[in-house]
Amino acid sequence: MQTTSTMNKPLAGRKALVTGGARGIGAAIVKRLAGDGASVAFTYVSAQSKAEELVQEIKSAGGQALAIRADSADFEALKGAVEETIQSFGGIDILVNNAGITSLKPYDQFTLEEFDQLVAVNLKAVFVAVQAAAPQMKPGGRVINIGSVAAEFNPFPGNSLYVSTKAAVAGLTRALARDLAPQGITVNNIQPGMIDTDMNPENGPYASGAQMIPLGRYGKASEIASMVAYISSPEAGYITGASLNIDGGGSV
Ligand SMILES: NC(=O)c1ccc[n+]([C@@H]2O[C@H](COP(=O)([O-])OP(=O)(O)OC[C@H]3O[C@@H](n4cnc5c(N)ncnc54)[C@H](OP(=O)(O)O)[C@@H]3O)[C@@H](O)[C@H]2O)c1
């Protein structure tokens, strides 16, 4: 039976790490998980002042938060962030692989260095973080990847590298779900559509795409965070290997 405190704080006692958590979708996820009672560590690279403000905001509200500077493309630093989370909180239950980058240009203008950078941050880092975190998780652990609906439906030219990495994340999610099921860990992939952040501002270069969205608007970062909170909760224990589109119907 649920008590008032477990209803209000369904993630009380859970320990989470969110990559790229100082701004955008990641910051919304950090706030939501902390608001639901989890202790939340998050990584950042450039957004140091936002990271510090977010930690203060969560602590002022009585929560626990930790900002760790770690570039996801520096795999030793990323593994170090997982280790620091475990050392600081006494374990890890929820890993959210959110950090991501995009680049839009004709396929024949991408350099192989750009290819490697998108693969490193959007795909290889997901694998590295799971390798570091999952063996430390108890049954009930959660791996949540932030992919993109672009893995399934890409209405823009020039998106070859980003789409490739996000499609690979969907495949990796399915394969890891099978690998980690015996440990009682679920692995899921949340695929946002057009979400208003620095990466994709409502008035930015992708804005015309909003006309194709049945619900007729961009999504909010908090609308991705609410799905992360649900997947993190015990109620979602039978969902694994899924790619879940949160896109206002844009891919139907
Ligand atoms: N916005 C959308 O419409 C949309 C749609 C589909 C999927 N997504 C996915 O959602 C995730 C978050 O996107 P967003 O819209 O919130 O993007 P954003 O506003 O551009 O924020 C990107 C976040 O990723 C972090 N990051 C970038 N490179 C990093 C690296 N090398 N190491 C560690 N962190 C790094 C940034 O950290 P710093 O600021 O500290 O550098 C920042 O926190 C991404 O995986 C993105 O692909 C977004």
- Interval 198-243: pLDDT, tens: 999 999 888 888 888 999 999 999 999 999 999 999 999 999 999 9
Strand 243-246, strand 15-18: pairing: unpaired
Q: What distance in Å separates the CA atoms of residue 155 and residue 170, rounded to the nearest whole number? A: 18
pLDDT bin (cut points 50, 70, 90) of residue 156 is confident
Instruction: Give the rounded percent of residues in the chain with a pLDDT score beyond 70.
Output: 97
Mean pLDDT of 129-158: 97
Calculate ∠ Cα 80-81-87, nearest 5°. Answer: 85
239 Cβ contact list (under 8 Å, min separation 6): 186, 188, 231
Query: Distance, CA 116 to ligand 1 centroid (Å)?
Result: 17
Please report the pLDDT score of residue 210 as a whole number.
Answer: 86
Query: Distance, CA 199 to ligand 1 centroid (Å)?
Result: 7
Is it the case that residue 4 has pLDDT exceeding 60? no
Written as six digits, the tokens of 115 are 């290819």
Is it the case that residue 7 has pLDDT exceeding 80? no
Per-residue pLDDT of 234-246, as tens digits, reads 999 999 999 999 9
3 Cβ contact list (under 8 Å, min separation 6): none
Going from N- to C-terminal start, the domains of the chain cover 10-246
Nearest to 92 by CA among 63, 127, 58, 133: 133
pLDDT bin (cut points 50, 70, 90) of residue 2 is low
Q: Please give the mean pLDDT across all residues of the chain.
A: 96
Kindly report the protein residue whose alpha carbon is nearest to atom 36 of ligand 1: 20
Nearest-atom number in ligand 1 for the CA of 44 is: 40
Ligand 1 site, residue 26, Cβ cutoff 6 A = yes
Nearest to 108 by CA among 155, 165, 160, 167: 160
Mean pLDDT of 89-94: 98
Mean pLDDT of 13-22: 98
Where is 123: in which H helix or E strand? none
Q: What distance in Å separates the CA atoms of residue 44 and residue 50, rounded to the nearest whole number? A: 9
Q: For the whole prediction, is pTM greater than 0.85?
A: yes
Q: What distance in Å separates the CA atoms of residue 90 and residue 231, rounded to the nearest whole number? A: 22
Residue range 10-246, CATH number = 3.40.50.720
Query: Distance, CA 27 to ligand 1 centroid (Å)?
Result: 10
Per-residue pLDDT of 24-72, as tens digits, reads 999 999 999 999 999 999 999 999 999 999 999 999 999 999 999 999 9
pLDDT bin (cut points 50, 70, 90) of residue 8 is confident
Beta bridge partners of 17: 41, 95
CA distances from 13 to 16, 28, 34, 40, 188 (A): 10, 20, 11, 11, 21
Ligand 1 site, residue 146, Cβ cutoff 6 A = yes
More confidently predicted of 4 and 111: 111
Ligand 1 site, residue 148, Cβ cutoff 6 A = yes
- Assign 3-state DSSP to the chain and report helix, strand, coil percentages, each to 5: 50, 15, 35
Q: What distance in Å separates the CA atoms of residue 230 and residue 157, rounded to the nearest whole number? A: 33
Does 44 participate in catalysis according to the annotation? no
Q: Choosing from 107, 162, 206, 218, which is the catalytic residue? A: 162
Q: Which residue has the tokens 């475990």?
A: 86
Tally of residues, the chain: 252
